Amino acid sequence: MQQNINQREEQNVPSDIRLQQLTEEERECFEERAAIMEYDGGLERAVAETLAWRRIVESRVPLAG
């Protein structure tokens, strides 16, 4: 089951084109979060990058109040 989750996550890894659309601050945040999740959290790189990407995208969407 974990393998299936990892395969799905790898398909959602942000492309270089998408990463180029980030501001400098967002790019730094993305790289830092992905690195922490990969090295300290023990996640595979593709999964860590996907989760970091989602965090950046979600931060752009204002919450409904």
C-alpha neighbours within 13 Å on the C-beta side of residue 17:
0
Query: What was the pLDDT predicted at 58?
Result: 87
Q: Give the separation between CA 64 and CA 62, rounded to whole angstroms.
A: 6
Query: What was the pLDDT predicted at 28?
Result: 94
Q: How confident is the model at residue 65 (pLDDT cuts 50, 70, 90)?
A: low
pTM here is 0.70
Question: Is the model's pLDDT at 8 over the cut of 60?
Answer: no
Residue type, 21: Q
At 13-56, the pLDDT tens digits run 677 778 888 899 999 999 999 999 999 999 999 999 999 999 98
